[in-house]
Structures are given as C-alpha cells and as structure tokens.
Structure 1
Amino acid sequence: MNMIDEKQLTAKWDAIYQGADKAIDWITSVRGNAPRLNTEADSLIYRLRRSRNMAKNLSLATQRPMSVGFFGLSQAGKSYLISALAAGEDGRLKTSMSGKTLDFIEHINPPGGGKEATGLVTRFSRKATKGTQDYPVELHLFSEIEIIKILANAYLYDFNQEKIDFELDEEKVSRLINTLSTQRNATPIAGITHDDVVSLWDYLQRHAEKSQKKLATTFWPKAIELAPYLTIAQRAKLFAVLWGEIDELTAAYQRFSTTLSQLGHAPLVLAPLSALVKEQDGMLVQNDSIMNVDMLERLNTENDNQISVCPVKADSIGAPVRLSLAELTALTVELVVPLLDAPSKALFEHVELLDFPGYRGRLGVETMDDVRRQVNDDSANPLAQLILRGKVAYLFERYTDNQEMNVLVVCTASNKQSDVKEVGGVLTEWIHNTQGKDAQTRAKRPSGLIWAMTMFDMRITNSLNMNEALLRQSWGKGGMIKMAMLERFGQYPWMSDWVNGEAFNNTFLVRKPGVPTPFIQINNGKEIVLNDGSVSQLRVMKKTFAEDETIQRYIKEPDQAWDAMLSLNDGGMQRLASYLETVALKSLKLERINEQLQEVQRDLIGHHLEKWYQSGGEEELLVKRRNAETILRFMQSRPYLQGALLDYLLPPRKALYDLYMQEKEVLNTLNSADKKAVSPAPVSAFAAMEQPTFDLLGDAPISLVPQEDEAPKGHGNEVAYPRKVMALWINHLRSLPDNNALLSYLGIDQEIMVLLVDELITAINRLGVEQRMLKILAGTEAIARRDDLAEQQSSRVHNVLGDFITWFNFKDVDAERPDSKINAGHKIFERPDSNSVQWGNDERLVRLPTTPVNYTFLFVFDWLIALSAIITENAGHSAGREISAEQNALLGQIIQTMKSSVVES
C-alpha cells in the first residue's frame, strides 16, 4: 500500500470542512426557489454540519503524534503497565516543572488504594513544551457544549429514567423555543456554534434515541439555529430540558460556562505547580491537587480555594485569570506530563501514552437528595458525585470521537470481575471508528485493540493448591475468560468475529515483577528463579491453560503468552512492548483516517450533493434504466425481504402523530403559502418463497405516464401539515442507508438502499404525493380535541403514504398498469384467473384448485415491475432540474473543492 502523506490528508479533510461550509451557504441561498431542495434542506445541512465536525476532528487527529490509550477496568494493573512502558531506565516516571524534578507516582498521581482516584486524562509525552517557569502545568479544558454533554450524561445514567419525576412536555418546549426566538441576539455570542449543537444532538441520539425522537422535529432544528445567538442564561433555559430541568445542574452549567467565557473559551490553560503539588517542610505534597477527584467535593462550598491560570489560544499566552480549584478540576480534560528521561522502551520516544480514569458505577437515583444515600456518605456533595460520573464516562467518548488514539490497551484483572457495566458500548464505538465497523475492514491492519489480563501473580497464587480438574474449570468459558471478557463484552459482534470469522484474540497476560509471591524467589527486589515447590503445579497450570478451547479462541498463542508472563523480571511486558512496536505506527493511523475520508466523500458527495448537480441530461434515461436493473437484479433474488422493506419505507405512524401534536401551534401560524417550512432533521427508522425461474428484466422497461390530481386549495394546518409530513418522510428515507443495523437485518447493500431511496424520493415528488395529502385533508380541520384530531389526520396521511409505497401510481389507474410477468395475460396487481369450479348445482359451493394461488408471490414481483416502471419514468425529473444554470455551476465548484486536496484560500 502507498504511504499516505500527512499534509495531503490534512488538506483533504480541510477541503471537506471548507466545502461543507460553502455547501451550507449554497443551500441557504437556493432553497427559497427550489421546493424539492427546500424539503430536504434542513436534513442536508444537518448532514453537512456533521461532516464538518468529523473533518475538523480528523484533520487535527492526522496532525497529532501517535498515541496509545490505557483504559482500565483494573486500575492497579493499568498504572503498572504505563510505568513499565514509559519510565526511564531507573523505572521512574519523572518530569520537571518550575525547576523541580517530580516522580509522577510519588508526587502527582493520587493514592487510590487500588481504586481510581483521578477524574481526568493524563498524557505522557516527550514532546510537550508549552509550560512556563511560573505556569508549568499544561491543562486542556472542556468546551461549553461538552459541559452540556457531561450534565446530560449524568442525568441519563445516574437518574432512574423510569422513576424520575420529569415528563417531557412538548408544548412547553415549543413555547420555550418561541420565547427564546424573540430574545435572540443579532450577532452570535461566543461559546457555542451551530456545529457544536449538531454534535450535541448526535451525542444524545447515541445515548437516548427514544427520548430524542420527541425533540427531533421542533427542538433540535430550532436549537441548532438559535443557540449561538443566546446568552449563557438563555442557553441554560434552552438546554435544561436535557437534564430534566434540575436546578442544581442548570446552575452548574451557568457557572462553568461563565468561567469558560472569562477564560476566553481557551482550549487550554497553564497553571502553577501548586495545582498539582505544594512544598511543605521541604517536601512536595499533594495538598489541593486537581488530580484528586476529591477536589470536586468542594464545589459550591467555603473550602473551595482560588487559583490563577493563563489561558492559551493560538499559542498566545493570556493574562492570568482567577477561578476556583474545584471548577478547574471539573473543567480539566487532560493533564500533560512532559517525560524527563528517555523511556526504557524506545517506541515511546515519539509515541504518547494516554491514561484514562476508570468508569464509576452509576447511581440510579430519583432525586438529588438520594445521591448521598446511594454513595453511603452523608457528607458527599451530590453535584460533585454526578459531575464526576458524567465526566469520566464522557472522557473516553470524547477521545474516541476525536480519534486521539488508534491503539488501546484494555486492562482487566485476571482474578476478579469489574462491576462497571457501561463500557461495552463505548469500546465498540472506538473499535468502529479506529479499527473498522466490520471484520473485512479490520482485516486490513493488525489489531489496535490489545487486551491485557493483569494481576496474574495473584491468580497463580490463588491456584497453587487446585487440582487439575479444578484448574480446567477455572480458565475458559466458565472461568477467567468469562469473567474478564465474555460476561461484559461477549454480546458484541467484534468479540466473536474480529477478522475472517475468528474471535478477538489479541490478549496478553501480565504480572508485576518483584511482587512477593510463593512461586518466585526474590533477592533485593530481583526475581531469581521459580520456587522448586511450585514448578510442578505451574506446569499443570500451563497445560490446562493452553489446552482449554476457549483460551485458544480468545488468546492467541496461549503457550507463548503463558511463558512470557512467567518470564523473570519481565512479567510479559517485553512481549506486549514488541507487539506495540508493530501497531503503534503513524502510517496505520493515517490509513484508517484516509478510509474514513473516502467514506465521507462517497456519502456526502456521491450520495447527497451530486444528486442536485446536473452534469448533462442526455444520458439520464440510460442511468435510470441502469438504476432499475441494479435494484431489481438484487431484489428479485430476495423476495422474502419485501414485507419488512415496505414497512421500513414508511415513517412510523407514531412519528406522524407526534409531528401533528408538536407542530400544531406553529402550523396554525403558517397561513401564507410562501412562508418557509422548517424541515425536521433525519428521524431514525429502526425503530419463505421459491426463487423465480424468470427474469423481470427480460423486456424493455414499461412506460408510465402518471396522472396527477389537481392540487386542492387548502389553508392553515391542512396545507402546512402535509408539507411537514413530506419533509419527515423524505428525511426518514434518507436515514435508511445510514442505519447499519437495518441494512444488516434486511441483508441489503448500502449502495442498493441509496439508489432505491433516491428513486423513491424522485417519484414521491414527481407523482404528487403531497397534493394527495392536501386533497384528503381538505376541509377536515374541524373543532375537536387536539389528540383526536391528531389521530385522524395522521391516520389519513399514513394511508396516503402507505398506498403510494404499496401500489405506486397504479392503484386506481388500470389502463396505465404495465403487464405482469408472473400473472400471464394480466396487468400488474390484477387478480389471477379463478381455477375454481362450481360444485354441482349449488352456486354457494366451489371446488378449490389443488394448488392454491400464492398471492404474496404475485404481489412481490408485480411490485418490482411497478418499481422498474416508476424509476424509468423518473428520467427528466431529477432533483437538480429546479436549479438555475448559475446555481448549478456554483454547486459543481463546491463539489470539486470537496474532492480536491488543494485548499482554497
């Protein structure tokens, strides 16, 4: 494979970022005169903003040094691994700040008694140089939108969502949006951008998809546009719904956001050495260290001391700003520790290490008052406990989204199970981003996921008296592997199919050398030899370990893994370090980032922007015929998909009901036909026959001339609601190719789904589905209870959509129906000839045919014939036809920018 140039890759991501920005401006300027574009404009802008966020993150990731993350369900084991890899020849992790030499373990890392005592990420680097003499401590801070994510995370996971006394009131939310819209500032207020709010929405859809559906049509599209123009206090009102309007969380958001504003929203600050250690009686002590999570307990108390820090923006160091230590502890994402000595493992001379704090068990409380009870501490600060849990959970997600590390060492104790249950999902997200979403993609590179089974000295010690039978039970699916891997992670597909049908097996055994054990002789801290009395038992342990089928499945080369773990004064570290040298390579990181660039270009440009661009129409009929052939050849071999597919092509009836309920107040104000509709962003959908012996593609495509009903003249809700439904439906369809779970369930290739959705949307617009809804709703807005009216109207429009997807334009147009290729002598969707005969002279009885008619079979293949006709007739009706030549040329330039590696100035 060709080496990927870092600068070129950065430029390509920058081109995506710039091009997406120009595309947003283009859509905004064109949509007013392009009804079809206007229907999809908001969801397309949403997609472009998502792409901008990704481009920004991956452009920065491309430029960063290679990093290895350490994610510990075993805190003690994690600390040992980092020390063993990054320490100097003397075995110590040393740094120099303000002219003082500090030992990280002794002076900076808080003692945790085996438990996680920090609430931030620690970066060990030989390249860090930003600190000054007076302000040597480099701290990276959260942004304002990330504070919202942390508070929302705490609310979602630390409060029992089934029992908490908070009901999402959609009418109240609509009124709030309308009120804040009248108060918006004329110009943006620093702290939050449109793209930031999109990232927040993405985050919450991953964590609370069901609840976010209620906010999808009114809250989020308006929040994206509105939030950048609101003050901090107004933003607090806007976003408080995301944490159940709990006053303490709202106040925390306002306080932290105000502090960030005072810091000029700087991404990092420089702090004095006292933020970590203080000199006392000639010794450095950890009093008031922001490394210690206990500092959070001082939030909103008189014990909270003040500290001065210098904000840094664009490498410019600002004047000192005062804030509280507890605030700084809460706002700090990362502490950078410059390594003083060359690491004993040369790899880490240029590769950085990231130490993540361990996850905390979630609380499941109903009120703030319950927090102290749940943590068994009457003196605990409820707000601090919530922020800590939300923060440490969000940290790993943040670094995953930013793709800060393409190699991750997951540390699990070999002798006990973690009580944290929420890790599997975030680990899967990291795998999808950095390793690949499927086994085929992951097979292109050596695994960047490394599983370290730590504390093996304790496991061996506890097994010295076991007989062979017990040992055989202790290793595999009923023992260590189940406890450390399968119980928490066995349900995820990557665990059983990492590559080529093989389970994940990149697992290493590790113990800490020099720790007194009954099976190794130690002299002056050095391991000398295995104890004679333990050698025989150790052989049996190795034999039972290596012969276990589950061990063989999840630990590659178990014999070598065992021998490396028992190697004296090493404990398996050299084997782990040797593997890291093969995978912690910048070239592998760039390969994966480049793959994601190609995915974004294919999706954003190929699947979305280019369909609005007209490069020449003379071949459009041939293109439509090819599209029809591609779709039909795929689907006619899978007739069993039809029922499920038709269901997913429709928006859920509940979504139509909710749309009516949510929008009615707004819809009542939309009485002029030229008032712009705000289309909702995508709404997630994912919510046996014999093979045919004929070919549906054997004859030329059948012509269809649709007959459109004259659009009725409606007003008020009768006009606005169908317009909203069109936007909802089209954006629902656009979301289907992105729904990997749905594609897997249906067994449909993404490219096939993209083609199908494109052609259906063209047909929906071409054949006047909106006019049909207008006609059926005309004169129906009578005085009635709102929920009854919503049920009636949503049912009516759902029937219209269902009829279209089921029959296309052929339900009531017999003369225009193409010929059926399975029901000979008939048009599609016609009943076959009856084979029954009268039973004697009794007209009430008939003799049934020996073989019953397979009506499902007839419908499926008639539907495919109808689909082929619809697609062919779409020629000349593509989305870009409503766009002027000048606008089309500008779009072409934007697309070229996004495809180019040259960034325009």
Structure 2
Amino acid sequence: MNDIVETRNQDLIQNVTNQITFINNFIKWSDGYLQQGRKEETFKKLVNVRRQLKRLLFSLESNPAIAAFGESQKGKSYVISSLLARKGQQLVFVDPKTNETYNFVEQFNPIGRDVEATGVATRFTCKYDVPDVDFPVMVKILHVSDMLNILCDSAYNDVKNHSIINKEDIDEFMQAQERRYQNAPVVQDILGEDDIMNIYEYVKNHIGEVKARDLLSSCFFDSAMRIIPKVQPAEWPQLLSKLWYDNSDITALFARLLQGYETIGFGKKVYIPVSALLNTTNTLMSAICLQTLDAEMPLVGNTNPVYGTDLLTEKNQVINGFSKSILSAICAEVVFQIPEETISEELLYHLNGITGDDVRQYLLSKGWNKKVSKQFLKSVDIFDFPGARERLRLDESQVKLELNKKMVLRGKVSYLFNKYSDERLINVLMLCHDHIHVGTTVMPDLVEQWLKFNVGATKRERTAYIDKSIISPLFMIATKFNIDMSSSVQEGGDTQISKRWDDRYKVVYYDQVLEANSRSWFNEWTERGGFKNTYLLRDYKYSGTVGGSANRLFEGYDQGGVETVEIDADFHQRLKQSFISNIHVNTFFDDPELAWDAAATMNNDGATRIIENLGIVAGNAKESRLYRCQQEVRSLQAQVIQLMMEYYHDENDENIMQKAIERAGSIIAEFDVVCGKDNYFFGRMIQNLQISENYVFDFYYNELNNTKATSERDVKEYDLILSRCHGRLSANNSYEQNLEILCQEYHFSSTGSCKEFFENVKGVSLEKLFACNFKQKSNSEQLAEGILEKWILDIKGSKNLKFYEAQGCNTLVILDLIENLKAVADYIELKSVIARKISPFVDAISVPHQILDMIADTTAEIINTFVVTLGYRYYSGQKKEELKMVNEKNNLHLSFDYEDTQCIPMSNEELSELFDDIRPTDENSQLTSLPSFINYNRWIEMLLISFVASYNIPTYNVEANKLLGKLLADYKELN
C-alpha cells in the first residue's frame, strides 16, 4: 500500500510540475496577444494559481509532519520528549564528531519560567544528511517574503495605534515606482511575483481588510508584482516599507536583516555547530536572542559565543562569528536527526497496576498485550512550535523600544504557525494544554484555521478526510494530568473532585481554549458525531515523591525509573469513577475509562496510547494529504482551463454561439450573487459604467484645441489629389506606377520633379497618398471615435477595476462585460450615432463653449442610454427576428417586450428595495410582478441578448487562437 501511495504521490508531483510549466507558457501567450487590461488581470490570476501549485508541490515533496502546538509553558516539550526519548530516558542529541551526548531539554531548550522562551520551530526527522561533522545541525532559513510578512504582521497586529498612509498616497508612490522601473531589466529572481501575491494573501487573511484597508485597496501589490523582478535587494526597504506604514524603525530592521540574507547568499539553509544551541551561551532557539537585534555588534566576526556563531552555508562557505540575533530572526527551523534506536524502540502497556479481571480483559481486548511500534517516525517529521501568545497592544511610539524585545517574536511565532498551516505542512496537530488558562487566547482561531485548510471546512469534508486517515488528525493532549490526580483537593469531597473535571474540560478547554460553543466544528466534527480524540498525559518525574513540586502519586520512578507502588489507590479509584462519569469529560473522550487507564495507572503515563494512535494516523498521513492535494490540484487546473476557455474561440459556429451564452451566464450569475449581498451594488455598477457631461466636455475641449489633432484632420489636399487622378491611383499599383500616374495628371516633365514638388516643397506623404486608404475624418467623427475609445479604456482600467474587486467581483467577468459593450457598440455603430448628433455643431471652423456644453450633454446621454439598454433599440427588425429564433432554439426564456417601455436605471433606493423584496417571505410570492424586479430583469435579459447579437463578430487573432488551442488541448490531457 505504501508503495502505491508513494507512486501516486510522485505522479501528482510530476503533474503539478507540468502544470506550472503550462501556466508559464500561458503567461507568455497572454503577454504576446492580450490587451493591457486583460493581460494584467490574467497575469494576476495565473500567478495566484501558480503560487498555490508551488505550495502544494513543496508540501508533496516534504515529509508529512506531526506538530506539537499550544500556548507557552503548557507541556509541549514533555509531549515531544515522550515521543522521541526512549522510555525512562531523556531526549538527547549526540554530536557526530565527539560522540558527546547533550540533554535536549536541559541543555538546548531555553528556560521559560512562565514566559515566552522559544523563537524558532524545532523539527525532528530521520531524513537528514550531515555535510560536515563540525556543523551537524541544520537551520532552515525563512524566505525574504516570510520576513516581510512577519514585520507586516507585527506592525498591524501588535501595534493598535499607528500612523496610516492613505490609499491615494500609496497609489502615487507606487505609480512613480512603476514609471521608474518601466524599462528596467530583470535583475534578480530572489523575490518574485508569486512572493508578492503570497504576501497579499497573508495580509488579507491574517491582518484583515479592516486593519489594512488602505494598503489592500491601493495598487501596492499590483504594482509591486509588476516591478519586483527589476528591483535590486538594496532598494527593497524603500519600496516595500508601505507594508508597515513607512515606520522607520521597522524599515531599518528589515535593511539590517537583508544584510544577513545577503551574507549567506540568500540560501535556504545553513549548518551550525552544537555550541550555538547551548543555553549556557544564549541558545539560538531562545527568544532572548532576538532582543539583541538592535545591539551595536557586527554582522560577522563576533568572537563571544553569546552573540555569534560560526556557520556553513549551502555553498560550503564558512562564515565566522555570524550574529546569533540575525540568524535567530531569519531562522524558520532548527533540525535534529531522530536516532535510529528511538525509531526501533517498541513500547508496552503495563497491567501490573490494573485491578479487576474485567478491567484487565477489557484492556486486553483493546490491544494492551501488543507491542507499540515507533516505526512511523521513518515516514513523518515531528515539529515543536514556539508557544502561542496573545498579541501586544502598543502605540507606535513604543515600536522603537519593543520591536526587538517582543514585537519580532510575537510576529514570528504567529506567522510560523499561519505559514505552516496555510501551506499544508502540518498533517497532524497535537494541541497541548494543561489545566490552567490565563487571559485572552489566540488558540480558537488558529485551531479552526488549521482544520479548515488541512482537514476540512465542513463535517462532510472532515468525514471524507478521516475515512482516509482512520483516526482524527487533531489530537487534544491534556498535559500535566499528574496535577489533576493529586490529593490537593481531596478534602472537598466528591463535589470538589468533580469540579476539577468541570474546570479543565468545560471552563478551560470547551469555553476558553476552543470556544467550542460558538464554533460548529467541535460538536459537528464528522457526520458520525462530535470531536472526541482527546488524550491524557502525565509527567513521570512530577508524579513521584522527590521535590517540592512532586504530586506524590507513585513511588519508585525517582530511584529506578520504574513506578513500583501506588501511594493512594483508593483515592485514585474515586477520581477515576468521578472522571469517567463526568458529563464534560464524556464530551471530549470517546472512552474515558480507557483514557484513564492508559495515563493514570502505574507505569502508564499516556504516551504509549498517543504513540499507538499517532502511528495509525501517520501511517495514513501521506494518503490523506494526497487525497486533499488531488482535490486542490484538480480545482486549480479547472480554473486555468476556464481561463483559457475565456480566450479560446471555437471555429464551430454552434460552439461560438453557446460560448457567447455561457459568457453572459457567468456575468449574470456574478451579479445575482453580488447584488444579493449588497443591495446598492447594481446601481453603483451602472453609475461606474456611465460618464458625466464634464467628462465629455473636457475631452472635446482638449481635442478641438489640440494643434496636432487639428493638423491631422486638415488634409483636404489628399482628397483633391485622389479626385484629380480619377481613381487611377491604387494600393495595388507599385510605387513607381502611382508616381508615373501622378506625374501625368499634373503634367510634370519628370517623375523626379513631381516627387520633389509634393514631398519636399509641399510636405505631402506619397506613401500615404498611394496607400489610398485615407479618408478624411470630420470633427464629429474624430470626437465620437475618441470619446468612445477613452470611455472603454477608462472603465476597464486598473483603477476602475478596484471598485469591482472591493465588492468581491471576478474582474475578468467584468472585463468580459466591458469588451462585450465595445463589441455591441461597434456592431450598432454607436460612433456614427454620436457623430450624426453632433455633426451640425462641430464640423465648422470653431466651436464656442455654449455649443461644447450642449454636445457634451448629448454625447453623455447617448452613451449612458447605451449602458442601460445595451444597444437593443438600434437592432434592425431582421436582427431581432434572428435573436428570437436563437431564443427559442436555446430555451433562453427571453421576452422581447422592450419596445414600448423605456428601461431606466434604478436609483440606489430602488435597488435596495428590489433586493429586500426578492428575499423569500410569505408575502412576496408575487415578487416577479414588482416594477423594480422587472427593470432589473430587463437589463439582465438585454445583457444576454447583447452577447448573442455580437457573438459572430470576429474580434480575435486567428494565429494566436491556434496557439492557445494547442496549449489548451495539451493542458487538458494532464491528469
């Protein structure tokens, strides 16, 4: 089975790799053949798909991972030790050069003392090669885009009162940068378009549109995507500082961190000696490391081991005394190898502390006579995440002081979990928490977010996933259970004993850590019921009798590593009965008695049961992940195919017609959904498509006073010359033949003197004359053509499309609508309609201001009426009959009763009433008879008619269409 899954995994990796190649080819095609507006929107959508495919590719190429996660000081380290240390021993690391053994918890782990201790994630893996025994520990480095996200996250989520750069200022700055880099060459591939879009997604999802409204609504990300490959790393701080509202302290820190990245060659990993991890010399994993980021110390050459460490880069370059604070800041993971003896260890349940034959038989039926293997550690990695904490609430004036002390740490800890969750790098989550909760928590949102991306957003999706994994990939680990077993509350009787379960499972877990009452996933975990995958874990050390913190549960472990005597068996039995009968305990545990016996009896601390079930879910982790990834890959491929189909034109007439109907249907569906959410959207959308009298006036005034345009119109000599030659001049003639004809008609003695007169003396272009395609345009024709071109260009410009993006509209659908408006305008010759109306007033020597006002008003009225009626009034009788036949053949249900009733655009109030009216109630069963509903439906029907009317107007490049057709056909074959 594992071989089959691995083969399927490799097949999907190849499929995703091929898709990325096809997307790059599609981007090249769009660059060559699409108009600017569509090119930009298509590029954004393709980059969005490509970056998601790259994430999936990275996930598929990585080992599945089990992560321990929770708030600081809640027992995560003990959970990790229970998994990776041999029973009765400590988790150790062996230096491959000296064979010296290091106690991971006591010598590497930062000492917390109830504060944030760790600033990096720790990975344990068996897939590990040591390139140099002097540098046996791998450090994975955050990408520069990750660091940008961290600083942006902290700037918005840890600082509550800060300055704001408004959207207009951001737009002005970024537009200036676009002009600066417009013709610059590509200079780097470290930070690219996909990275900028990843940052955009992170800001939108994890900072939010309320906090970062101006940043998200500006052109910052669109502009940055277009120019970032052309920008040198040294210029990134200035360009990208808008991510933290131009705070100079954060910008300076980013510039310093960039120096660190450049020093290690922007590598993905480095290797360090064991000495860099010793907590006696400020371990690299310590949060304290980050607090010296602003210290006046060199980037390299630090000889004090507290502040610097030697390292080996990916290119085998040794750097001496590299700043520990910089390395800690840009470090994503410290990676350790899981010892082979840990993987080969087999665990046993212990029955010597179990009383009662019936209980023993029950436990044997549950597999307590079998060995529990750790072989699953060969195929999965183990993560230990830094402890999650509530975000800070700083004023911007405190940034300088707190940036290195707490802000970077909080931003980094938050980002690490968000990143690994979003990128599907955590396949099994062990949520660790003890019996105490203090203050506001961030855990509910983080857990729900992980579930949504990695297991399923609905109980149906979660059911399908768990059918593959067998056991839930979310493990709730109730740590420090030895405290719950202590006799400290014995005097309170059974009521007080029961209260400890109420407090832990109802107050702390249900209400606070998970907020299960307000989140549906806990009680609607799968189609089979609520979440019950909870485990108990106690600490052998604190279960003993030595030390002031000992809970005095069992004797023997302190002396020989084996529990030999249960100190108060009768009290423990009372605890057990209270535990298994408690209603809140039963909410979290499928089998409370089994959970108790696995963790609260002699020589059973709960770890064996956790490891047994982790082995099951880990054994299916790759297949479960593969299942989710296959779904996502298919969905992303469908998006690209749909995008290709938007531009591909089938040469079969029936297919072209059907595609026109489908395009209209996509727009109608988009409007119905968006208008249902926002009652005012449709009115604003119509206004957004229309123009004002002032808009037209300014354009006409500038055109009529533009000397260049005037000179281009003043070419009557061309008409007279063509007329004088009696039609003998022709584009089919050679240049010499036409010159001879011209010479004859004007009786020049030679063709040379003829050419000299017209070209050099009079400035007439003979090339243009001989093309014979010149037709003088009147003022009215020039103005009508110009205003329509400007109108179409403006309504499909990126600035205007921001309006639709803010409403959640698919901008490609909007561009499709606008292009159809242009196609219909061309079909009905709207340019001629406008020209005829204004011709009597502008086809003269000069046009006074009063006339300009009038023709501007007339032009605006024509265009605005066209927006509302979509050109229907200009269709010929024959065209309308053809449309009725199409309607009947395709069952479009169009009424064609638009002749007598003028369709007037609805006001915002009418639109609001419309969508209030169409919400289903007992009173609105006759809603289709409402005037506002009829008006809206008429516009929608005329939209569909306009697509059908213009479907056979050829508007595409035939050669480009053939290339796209080949690309589409090949892309569809990927499976």
TM bucket, shorter chain: 0.7 to 0.9
Deviation at 1:799, TM superposition (A): 14
Three-state SS of the structure 1 residue aligned to 2:796 is helix
8 A Cα contact 1:126 1:338, kept in partner: yes
Residue number among 551, 574, 580 corresponding to 1:537 in the alignment: 574
Q: For residue 119 of structure 2, what is the aligned residue in structure 1?
A: 119
* Alignment partner of 1:416 is 2:418: no
Write out aligned runs for 1:579-598 (5 A). Answer: 579-584=613-618, 585-598=621-634
**Which one is further off, 138-147 or 189-198?**
189-198
8 A Cα contact 2:178 2:223, kept in partner: no
Letter in 1 for 2:531: F
Residue number among 571, 584, 589 corresponding to 2:605 in the alignment: 571
* Alignment partner of 1:499 is 2:526: yes
Three-state SS of the structure 2 residue aligned to 1:410 is strand
8 A Cα contact 1:174 1:218, kept in partner: no
8 A Cα contact 2:171 2:218, kept in partner: no
Write out aligned runs for 1:856-875 (5 A). Answer: 857=930, 859-860=932-933, 863-864=936-937, 867=940, 870-871=943-944, 874-875=947-948
Deviation at 1:12, TM superposition (A): 0.9
Q: For residue 407 of structure 2, what is the aligned residue in structure 1?
A: 386
Letter in 2 for 1:557: D
Q: Distance in 1 between matches of 2:533 and 2:682?
A: 41
Deviation at 1:194, TM superposition (A): 1.9
TM-score, length basis structure 1? 0.74
Q: Distance in 2 between matches of 1:587 and 1:14?
A: 19
Write out aligned runs for 1:779-794 (5 A). Answer: none
Residue number among 434, 439, 443 corresponding to 2:454 in the alignment: 434
Q: For residue 189 of structure 1, what is the aligned residue in structure 2?
A: 188
Q: Distance in 1 between matches of 2:607 and 2:804?
A: 52
Residues 1:356 and 1:711: Cα distance change in structure 2 (over 3 Å): farther
Residues 1:865 and 1:173: Cα distance change in structure 2 (over 3 Å): closer
Deviation at 1:821, TM superposition (A): 12
Residues 1:241 and 1:472: Cα distance change in structure 2 (over 3 Å): same
Letter in 2 for 1:572: G
Deviation at 1:208, TM superposition (A): 3.0
Residue number among 501, 504, 510 corresponding to 2:537 in the alignment: 510
Write out aligned runs for 1:676-755 (5 A). Answer: 713-714=786-787, 721-724=794-797, 728=801, 732=805, 735-736=808-809
Residues 1:886 and 1:716: Cα distance change in structure 2 (over 3 Å): closer
8 A Cα contact 1:769 1:801, kept in partner: no
**Which one is further off, 224-233 or 586-595?**
224-233
* Alignment partner of 1:358 is 2:387: yes
Q: Distance in 2 between matches of 1:723 and 1:140?
A: 44
Q: Distance in 1 between matches of 2:383 and 2:702?
A: 54
Letter in 2 for 1:29: G
Deviation at 1:885, TM superposition (A): 2.9
Three-state SS of the structure 2 residue aligned to 1:354 is strand
Residues 1:731 and 1:467: Cα distance change in structure 2 (over 3 Å): same
TM-score, length basis structure 2? 0.69
Three-state SS of the structure 2 residue aligned to 1:317 is coil
- CA distances 1:491-524 after superposition (whole Å, capped 9, x unpaired): 4443343322843332223222342365733223
Residues 1:799 and 1:540: Cα distance change in structure 2 (over 3 Å): farther
8 A Cα contact 1:205 1:212, kept in partner: no
Letter in 2 for 1:524: Y
* Alignment partner of 1:620 is 2:655: yes
Residues 1:342 and 1:811: Cα distance change in structure 2 (over 3 Å): farther
Q: Distance in 2 between matches of 1:104 and 1:437?
A: 37
Deviation at 1:624, TM superposition (A): 5.5
Write out aligned runs for 1:172-211 (5 A). Answer: 173-175=171-173, 177-179=175-177, 181-182=179-180, 185-206=184-205, 207-210=207-210, 211=212
Q: For residue 266 of structure 1, what is the aligned residue in structure 2?
A: 267
Write out aligned runs for 1:1-12 (5 A). Answer: 3=5, 5-12=8-15
Residues 1:14 and 1:629: Cα distance change in structure 2 (over 3 Å): closer
Q: For residue 133 of structure 1, what is the aligned residue in structure 2?
A: 133
Gaps of 5+ in 2: 346-373, 467-471, 544-549, 691-700, 710-782, 839-855, 904-922
- CA distances 1:377-404 after superposition (whole Å, capped 9, x unpaired): xxxx643422111111111122223322
Q: Distance in 2 between matches of 1:628 and 1:24?
A: 22
8 A Cα contact 2:490 2:496, kept in partner: no
8 A Cα contact 1:759 1:874, kept in partner: no
Residues 1:772 and 1:538: Cα distance change in structure 2 (over 3 Å): farther
* Alignment partner of 1:454 is 2:479: yes
Q: Distance in 2 between matches of 1:826 and 1:448?
A: 59
- Structure number with the higher helix fraction is 2
What is the CA RMSD across the aligned residues, in angstroms? 4.8
Deviation at 1:253, TM superposition (A): 0.9
Residues 1:552 and 1:898: Cα distance change in structure 2 (over 3 Å): farther
Q: Distance in 2 between matches of 1:713 and 1:129?
A: 67
Q: For residue 346 of structure 1, what is the aligned residue in structure 2?
A: 375
Residues 1:307 and 1:648: Cα distance change in structure 2 (over 3 Å): same
Residues 1:395 and 1:824: Cα distance change in structure 2 (over 3 Å): closer
Residues 1:367 and 1:866: Cα distance change in structure 2 (over 3 Å): closer
Q: Distance in 2 between matches of 1:108 and 1:640?
A: 55
Letter in 2 for 1:135: F
Three-state SS of the structure 2 residue aligned to 1:307 is strand
- CA distances 1:572-603 after superposition (whole Å, capped 9, x unpaired): 22222222122213222222111111111122
8 A Cα contact 1:141 1:333, kept in partner: yes
Q: Distance in 2 between matches of 1:538 and 1:880?
A: 82
Q: Distance in 1 between matches of 2:686 and 2:152?
A: 29
Letter in 1 for 2:226: E
Q: For residue 847 of structure 1, what is the aligned residue in structure 2?
A: none
Q: Distance in 2 between matches of 1:186 and 1:825?
A: 55
Deviation at 1:177, TM superposition (A): 4.1
Deviation at 1:534, TM superposition (A): 0.6
* Alignment partner of 1:369 is 2:398: yes
Three-state SS of the structure 2 residue aligned to 1:221 is helix
8 A Cα contact 1:120 1:291, kept in partner: yes
8 A Cα contact 1:823 1:858, kept in partner: no
Letter in 1 for 2:794: Y
* Alignment partner of 1:24 is 2:27: yes
- Over the matched positions of the two proteins, sequence identity in percent amounts to 19
Q: For residue 481 of structure 1, what is the aligned residue in structure 2?
A: 506
Q: Distance in 1 between matches of 2:519 and 2:500?
A: 23
Three-state SS of the structure 1 residue aligned to 2:322 is strand
Three-state SS of the structure 1 residue aligned to 2:382 is strand
Deviation at 1:30, TM superposition (A): 0.8
Three-state SS of the structure 1 residue aligned to 2:75 is helix
Gaps of 5+ in 1: 278-284, 373-380, 658-667, 674-709, 739-753, 779-792, 833-849
- CA distances 1:2-40 after superposition (whole Å, capped 9, x unpaired): 846122111111112111111111111112xxx4xx433
Letter in 2 for 1:238: L
Residue number among 65, 68, 80 corresponding to 1:67 in the alignment: 65
Q: For residue 401 of structure 1, what is the aligned residue in structure 2?
A: 422
8 A Cα contact 1:72 1:358, kept in partner: yes
Q: For residue 645 of structure 2, what is the aligned residue in structure 1?
A: 610
8 A Cα contact 1:436 1:442, kept in partner: yes
Q: Distance in 1 between matches of 2:897 and 2:178?
A: 60
Residues 1:887 and 1:437: Cα distance change in structure 2 (over 3 Å): farther
